[in-house]
Amino acid sequence: MSEQTLFIVKPDAVARKLVGQIIARFETKGFKILKLKMFTFSKTQAQEFYAVHNTKPFFGELVDFITSGPVVVAVIEGNNAVATTRILVGATKSYEAAPGSIRGDFGLGISDNIIHASDSKENFEKEAKVVFE
């Protein structure tokens, strides 16, 4: 089933010049890139984007990190895009991510974990509105 999802190459990966390698993994897997842009989150955008975490103790740190530099955001389309992207990305904690996954190969920790990927169709729709509207 063809569907859309979103991923964000985070500031740590942009700073390490990993954008091309990360995007290539999605293209190699057969995903079509529908939208692609580079920008820096405002604090307000970041708070809205991560609103689901606003009661958690790490919320401020998360907002500070995602606003610390430019990100690259993409909307992609392909078969089972949400689930397949989550597998490609790997576990949230880079040290738990499987070798061969993006976080397993490039991640350095929990917050500097290279990439964000929508975890559901509903969250994709919310997240895309924040970054593309």
Residue 10 is labelled as binding a ligand:
yes
Distance, CA of 53 to CA of 91 (rounded, Å): 18
- Is 16 annotated as contributing to ligand binding? no
Confirm or deny that 113 is annotated as ligand binding. Answer: yes
> How is residue 94 annotated by DSSP?
G
Look up 53 and say whether it is catalytic: no
Query: Looking at 22, 49, 115, 116, which residue is catalytic?
Result: 116
- Which is nearest to 79 in space by CA: 91, 92, 88, 70? 88
DSSP-assigned beta bridge partners for residue 26:
none
Q: Is 129 annotated as a binding residue?
A: no
CA distance 71 to 92: 18
Residues flagged as binding site: 10, 58, 86, 92, 103, 113
Active site residues: 116
Residues flagged as binding site for ATP: 10, 58, 86, 92, 103, 113
